[in-house]
Amino acid sequence: MALSTERLGLFNPAKPMENRLTDLGPRHFWQYFPPIIQQNYGKWAYHEILEPGVLVHVAENGDKVFTVRCGGCRFMTVENIREICDIADKYCDGYVRFTTRNNIEFMVDSQGKMEALKKDLMSRKHVSGSYKFPIGGTGAGVTNIVHTQGYIHCHTPATDASSMVKSIMDELFDYFQSMTLPAQVRVSMACCLNMCGAVHCSDIALLGYHRKPPIVDSDVLESVCEIPLVIAACPTAAISPTKTDEGKKAVKIKEERCMFCGNCYTMCMALPLSDQKGDCVTVLAGGKLSNRISPPRFSKVVIPALPNNFPRFQETCEAVKKIIEAYAKDANKYERIGDWAERIGWERFFEKCDIPFTEHLIDDYRLQYDTYRTSTQFKFTEAAWAVSKAVGGIE
Amino acid sequence: MAFEPREEQKQLKYQELRIFSDEELHNYTEEELKNFKIKHDIPFCEELEKGRWPSFVADAKREALHRKKLAQDRMMIERDVVEDLLGQLEVSFKHGETHWKHGGIVGVFGYGGGVIGRYSDLQEQFPSIAHFHTMRVNQPASKFYTSDYLRTICDLWEYRGSGMMNMHGSTGDIIFLGTFTEQLEPIFFELGHVLQQDLGGSGSNLRTPSCCIGKARCEWSCIDTQDMCYELTHYYQDELHRPAFPYKFKFKFDGCPNGCVASIARSDMSFIGTWRDEIRIDQEAVKAYMGGEIMPNGGAHSGRDWGQFDIHKEVINLCPTQCMWMEGDKLMIDNKECTRCMHCINVMPRALRPGKDTGVSILLGAKAPILEGAQMALLTIPFMKTDPPYDNIKEKVVEPIWDWWMEEGKNRERLGELIQRQGIPKLIEVLGIPAMPQMVKEPRSNPYIFWKEEDVPGGWKRDIKDYRSRHKR
């Protein structure tokens, strides 16, 4: 049965339940595995990264599959996907794979095909000059950034995603195409605290953040929101019921209690938070989720706010680069950013990255005690001398 | 071995399914694209065409031109939808605020998820994106595709939607970005009848499960991640499509503790492959690494000169449990002390491999910060053997957890938050498992134990007179 072209296709609005197929689930994965993958399923012996972006996996029987990994945009049009299909048809018998981090993987079964494929991929550019399918994203480098929707589709963002990711990846492009870092660096980006991208365990996480309490749209609030749910939604109990001068039911916000999480807006459209001047980018660092050597750990806030400087986010790009360069220079082989920061001490991290430490970076939320340093083991840095001077302990 | 689908899979041949002719698909030249200007002035967006990384704006523009040159009756929504999206994006950059309205309840009959309603708040200026609903299409496990499938999806989506997509959304679905309400049901019918393909989850449902590449192309995977993902997704279709939970619930499947699909940080129920026997050692290959014949870590560090490989510095001394040593030129491992962190295996993949007696560790309750702060998953089940169709996982783990959470969970409370609110002792009672020290980093440092009456000899019922018979007031 071909795809239909009638306006409503196979759907009959007069009988909406007629011929309705439900609960089919996803299609089965096996049919999408290229023959070399099917034949060697569960029989892979080892792999090597031949060069940045190019892997060979060797099976127990000696079979080899060569993978060429390319950076992709999470946002892509059908034109781009059709071009991916053209490449897959030309070199890979029509098979292609996407990775969790929005990369595209083309697999071939011989070195000869792999060389031709590589040449083809790097020759493809958009008319305005950017690569369509840059090869890289393997090993001790920076791979693609996972991110959220931002202004492309979302109603709660505190910044945009696609533009920031494009800008950061332009800045880090050489790290995408090389393997010169002490370990892999995973950069992730989320437009608000909802983190549909779950960036909280990344080497570097970029997070859009609101900084102004919600505005109460009291003209409509009582008719579009469930007031008890709105009040219950606030984690700091900053929202309480009130009445407007006209006698309408509304809510009031204890502004000094607001931590700008936006949970109230999720529950109630009459409490918008976004604001051109207030919204900002928060930078976190040192998280990971692999269990390798050290356990998975959360990213920590290292820069509380950078401006939403559309469309290129220069300050954010510079900050990310600064952290990666300091890490590249100082960390030991196999150390992730967080391993490095813990070894040298976070006080030294701020010094080496040349990032100012402010009170915003000290946790004052519920689990703050877990972060207190309760020992005399610390390192002297300028930040420590500043405290000593302030109390008259030193000249 | 080959895995069989639960139902016979329709063969998809693009040539039989397609909508657009070759002429329609190749309807513009490179020269036209170079000179193409969309109908809105978009200097900020166009700045994003510069630089080496693939430009999503450049990509969007070619779809805009492609649509412009298709006949309008060859698309069921307006042809300039891409131009209007770029136009609104430009205004959003200028205003530093999004222009999508809050919410919008749309969907397909009988499902409570899979479609996200979205409306522009600049509909006069950008009428073609007045409605911009998203549909989540459940991806095949580990995201391998054939071009026949992808091209068919592209024709369907260009014909009935915007032609703009995400490959893929954060949870794993193929995302169709932007169509009008009228086309939601027709798209759902085409997906089901023509492509034998269902929507994914959204809302307070089981969300679309996802997995790593697993044994398809990785020597470390200890479980059949794709098969587990496929089976549990199909088995729990009702939970995926019809909201009955307090909030979202995610399954993710990682083949080994390297965790390529990040299950430990972002799934309410994280399945991670592991082993309980011994790391397999090829002593000849160990010697080859030590002699510099094989590059360490599969060549992952080859861009910099890190000096001669040193097995002590790079492997033995970095082992978190210090359970490795050399005896002469033989590498020894005290496997019972190993915590399977994967480091030695990652560094010397040709010498070391995970054991053969494999199974799954199950961790519970990871989530992003909303609302009570981010959580990573709690190690709950250390090791479990399981075979298709994974009945022991369904019956002994998934369903007791869901029953508890549906009974006790508050509105918008994730599993991890319920565990924190009611405590691990309650969780293990629900699962009928004993406590183990592996569930915590360390035992509690306060003695505020919630003793139960039955734990204490003689119970709690006491008589004050009896007490006073021994103690004067």
Q: What is the CATH number of the domain that holds B249?
A: 3.30.413.10
Asked if A144 is an interface residue toward chain B (Cβ–Cβ < 8 A), one would say no
Asked if A223 is an interface residue toward chain B (Cβ–Cβ < 8 A), one would say no
Asked if B293 is an interface residue toward chain A (Cβ–Cβ < 8 A), one would say no
Whether residues B293 and B314 share a domain: the answer is yes
Domain boundary among B332, B353, B374: B353
Could you say which DSSP state residue A269 is in?
T
The verdict on a CB contact (< 8 Å) between A49 and B369 is no
| Residue B47, in any domain of the structure | yes
A208 vs chain B: nearest CA distance in angstroms?
A: 12
Q: Which residue has the tokens 């690569």?
A: A131
B283 contact partners, CB below 8 Å, separation of at least 6: B329, B330, B331, B351
Whether residues B236 and B269 share a domain: the answer is yes
Whether residues B91 and B39 share a domain: the answer is yes
| Residue B319, in any domain of the structure | yes
Tens-place pLDDT, residues B298-337 = 999 999 999 999 999 999 999 999 999 999 999 999 999 9
The verdict on a CB contact (< 8 Å) between B49 and A129 is yes
Coil, strand or helix at B436: coil
Whether residues B266 and B388 share a domain: the answer is yes
| Residue B6, in any domain of the structure | no
What are A227's two structure tokens? 């007031």
The pLDDT value recorded for residue B36 is 97
| Residue B381, in any domain of the structure | yes
Interface test with A, best of B12, B19, B52 (most A CBs within 10 A): B52
B116 touches B137 (CB < 8 A): no
Among all residues of chain A, which has the CA nearest to that of B341? A292
User: What gap in Å lies between CA A256 and CA A213, rounded to an integer?
Assistant: 9
The verdict on a CB contact (< 8 Å) between B217 and A126 is no
A206 vs chain B: nearest CA distance in angstroms?
A: 14
Alpha helices in B298-366 (DSSP H): 311, 343-347
Asked if A309 is an interface residue toward chain B (Cβ–Cβ < 8 A), one would say no
Whether residues B270 and B286 share a domain: the answer is no
Q: What is the mean pLDDT of chain A?
A: 96
Residue count (chain B): 473
A307 touches A280 (CB < 8 A): yes
Asked if B96 is an interface residue toward chain A (Cβ–Cβ < 8 A), one would say yes
Among all residues of chain A, which has the CA nearest to that of B178? A153
Whether residues B114 and B249 share a domain: the answer is no
Which residue of A166, A178, A293 is in closest CB contact with B318? Answer: A293
The verdict on a CB contact (< 8 Å) between B217 and A170 is no
A242 touches A254 (CB < 8 A): no
Identify the bridge partners of residue A251 per DSSP, sorted by sequence position.
Answer: A241
The pLDDT value recorded for residue B370 is 81
Which residue of A27, A154, A298 is in closest CB contact with B140? Answer: A27
A251 touches A234 (CB < 8 A): no
Whether residues B335 and B362 share a domain: the answer is no
* Edge-to-edge strands, sheet with A44-51: A44-51, A54-59, A64-70, A104-108, A95-98, B144-146
Q: Which residue has the tokens 């599959």?
A: A65
| Among the listed residues B371, B321, B360, the one whose alpha carbon sits nearest the alpha carbon of residue B343 | B321
Asked if A126 is an interface residue toward chain B (Cβ–Cβ < 8 A), one would say yes
The pLDDT value recorded for residue B104 is 80
**Quick one: average pLDDT of A27-32?**
97
Instruction: Name the helix (H) or strand (E) containing B362.
Output: strand B358-364
The pLDDT value recorded for residue B346 is 98
| Residue B67, in any domain of the structure | yes
Domain boundary among B353, B381, B412: B353
| Residue B4, in any domain of the structure | no
Whether residues B362 and B237 share a domain: the answer is yes
Whether residues B148 and B30 share a domain: the answer is yes
What are B113's two structure tokens? 């998820």
Which residue of A17, A28, A235 is in closest CB contact with B230? Answer: A28
ipTM, two decimals, is 0.97
Tens-place pLDDT, residues A129-163 = 999 999 999 999 999 999 999 999 999 999 999 99
The CATH number of the domain holding residue B146 is: 3.30.70.2500
Among all residues of chain A, which has the CA nearest to that of B3? A30
A7 touches B74 (CB < 8 A): no
User: What gap in Å lies between CA A169 and CA B54, rounded to an integer?
Assistant: 9
Whether residues B349 and B364 share a domain: the answer is no
Residues of B in contact with A310 (CB under 8 A): 44, 93-94, 96
Rg (CA), chain B: 28
Cα Dmax for chain B: 104
What are B420's two structure tokens? 């924190």
The pLDDT value recorded for residue A326 is 98
User: What gap in Å lies between CA B68 and CA B80, rounded to an integer?
Assistant: 7
Whether residues B160 and B30 share a domain: the answer is yes
User: What gap in Å lies between CA B94 and CA B206, rounded to an integer?
Assistant: 38
A142 touches A185 (CB < 8 A): yes
The pLDDT value recorded for residue B1 is 66
Half-sphere exposure of A195 (CA within 13 A, CB side): 24
Asked if A44 is an interface residue toward chain B (Cβ–Cβ < 8 A), one would say yes
The verdict on a CB contact (< 8 Å) between B6 and A28 is yes
Provide the number of CB pairs (under 8 Å) joining chain A to chain B: 495
The verdict on a CB contact (< 8 Å) between B163 and A16 is no
Angle at A75 between CA A71 and CA A77, to 5 degrees: 100
The whole-model pTM stands at 0.96
Asked if B20 is an interface residue toward chain A (Cβ–Cβ < 8 A), one would say no
Could you say which DSSP state residue B142 is in?
G
Q: Give the range of the structural domain holding residue B326, as residue numbers without chain letter.
A: 280-353
**Residue % of chain A over a pLDDT of 90:** 97
| Residue B69, in any domain of the structure | yes
Residues of B in contact with A368 (CB under 8 A): none
Domain boundary among B167, B194, B221: B194
pLDDT in tens, chain B (473 residues): 679 999 899 999 999 999 999 999 999 999 999 999 999 999 999 999 999 999 999 999 999 999 999 999 999 999 999 999 999 999 999 999 999 999 788 999 999 999 999 999 999 999 999 999 999 999 999 999 999 999 999 999 999 999 999 999 999 999 999 999 999 999 999 999 999 999 999 999 999 999 999 999 999 999 999 999 999 999 999 999 999 999 999 999 999 999 999 999 999 999 999 999 999 999 999 999 999 999 999 999 999 999 999 999 999 999 999 999 999 999 999 999 999 999 999 999 999 999 999 999 999 999 988 877 899 999 999 999 999 999 999 999 999 999 999 999 998 899 999 999 999 999 999 999 999 999 999 999 999 999 999 999 999 999 999 999 999 99
The CATH number of the domain holding residue B285 is: 3.30.70.20
Q: Which residue has the tokens 């390798």?
A: A292
| Residue B416, in any domain of the structure | yes
Whether residues B62 and B77 share a domain: the answer is yes
Half-sphere exposure of A12 (CA within 13 A, CB side): 6
A contact residues 336-355, partner B, Cβ 8 Å cutoff:
none
Domain count for chain B, please give it: 3
Tens-place pLDDT, residues A173-210 = 999 999 999 999 999 999 998 888 779 999 999 999 99
Single-letter residue type at B461 = K
DSSP string, B334-358: -GGG----SHHHHH-TTTEE--SSE
B424 touches B439 (CB < 8 A): yes
The verdict on a CB contact (< 8 Å) between B226 and A29 is yes
A294 touches A288 (CB < 8 A): yes
